[in-house]
């Protein structure tokens, strides 16, 4: 197979997982799509080397996380206002109509309230199910920092979800 065909197959197989991970990193589906697109562009550039090394998923995750963190630091992102609903679309069904949907939204809001570094560690450790060592290598941090950020992130999530802070934002 040629480069484009191999890359296309990889994208077909992994784009959905990458998009979900990106969403958890940034909390916005549109921005998640942008992050995945940027990561896939970087992945395509490095494709010949990566195919030889066989480290596709690890590299894709690393690029995705670093892109999310880098873009969260950009000034133009801070000026944007994120809204809960998109205009001119039907209202979503109430949380009571979808079992578990309210809790899912609370967790997403709480996750979005974490600083980018803590959010990245929590997503990689508990969503992507990476080990402390893998997460540290991916983020370029020490294992102690990953453990500390995971503990702080989980404590913050418990605090946000346990004291009804998310209820006030509805």
Q: So what's the pLDDT on residue 97?
A: 43
Residue 48 CA, chain-centre distance (Å), reads 26
DSSP 3-state percent helix, strand, coil across the chain (nearest 5): 75, 0, 25
Domain residue limits, the chain: 1-81, 98-170
Q: So what's the pLDDT on residue 166?
A: 42
Contact present, 68 and 120 (Cβ < 8 Å): yes
- Rg of the chain over CA atoms, in angstroms? 17
Structure tokens at 61: 């995750």
Q: So what's the pLDDT on residue 75?
A: 54
Contact present, 132 and 125 (Cβ < 8 Å): yes
Q: So what's the pLDDT on residue 64?
A: 92
d(CA 157, CA 10): 33
Contact present, 126 and 135 (Cβ < 8 Å): no
pLDDT in tens, 123-160: 999 888 889 999 998 888 999 999 999 999 999 988 88
Structure tokens at 152: 């702080």
Q: So what's the pLDDT on residue 163?
A: 63
Query: Per-residue confidence of the chain (170 residues) as pLDDT tens digits?
Result: 688 899 999 999 999 999 999 998 888 889 899 999 999 999 999 888 887 777 788 889 999 998 888 887 765 555 556 667 765 655 555 444 444 445 556 778 888 888 988 999 999 998 888 899 999 988 889 999 999 999 999 999 888 888 654 444 44
Write out the H or E segment, with its range, that includes residue 64.
helix 56-73
Q: Does domain 1-81 have CATH number 1.10.1740?
A: yes
Chain length of the chain = 170
CATH assignment, 98-170:
1.10.10.10
């Amino acid at each position: 197979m040629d480069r484009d065909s191999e890359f296309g197959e990889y994208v077909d197989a992994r784009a959905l997982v990458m998009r979900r991970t990106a969403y958890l990193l940034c909390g916005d589906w549109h921005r998640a799509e942008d992050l995945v697109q940027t990561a896939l562009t970087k992945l395509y550039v490095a494709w010949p080397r990566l195919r030889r090394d066989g480290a596709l998923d690890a590299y894709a995750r690393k690029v995705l996380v670093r892109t999310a963190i880098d873009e969260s630091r950009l000034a133009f992102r801070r000026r944007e206002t994120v809204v809960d609903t998109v205009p001119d679309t039907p209202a979503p069904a109430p949380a009571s109509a979808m079992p578990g949907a309210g809790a899912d939204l609370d967790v997403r809001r709480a996750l979005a309230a974490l600083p980018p570094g803590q959010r990245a560690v929590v997503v990689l450790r508990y969503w992507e199910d990476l080990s402390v060592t893998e997460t540290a290598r991916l983020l370029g941090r020490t294992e102690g920092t990953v453990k500390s950020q995971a503990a702080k992130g989980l404590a913050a999530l418990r605090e946000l979800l346990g004291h009804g802070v998310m209820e006030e934002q509805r």
